[in-house]
Amino acid sequence: MFDTLKYFECKDRDEINKILHEKDIWPCEVTAIVWKDNHYEVFYESFED
C-alpha cells in the first residue's frame, strides 16, 4: 500500500462536508484545509494498493 496526499477544491464549508461524504473520506484522513483565491483546498490521505 502506498499513501498519497490528494486534494479537491470547493467553494464553502457545506460543500466540503458533501464531498467528503460522497468520496467516503473520514474526517481523520483530512490533513489540511486551506483558503486560497476564494476557494477551499482540502488535502487528505489516500491509501491505494
What pTM was computed for the model?
0.81
E strands, the chain, in order: 2-10, 30-36, 39-48
- Specify whether the CB–CB gap between 45 and 3 falls below 8 A: yes
In the block, residue with C-alpha cell 498519497: 4
Half-sphere exposure of 11 (CA within 13 A, CB side): 0
pLDDT in tens, the chain (49 residues): 456 899 999 999 999 999 999 999 998 999 999 999 999 999 999 876 4
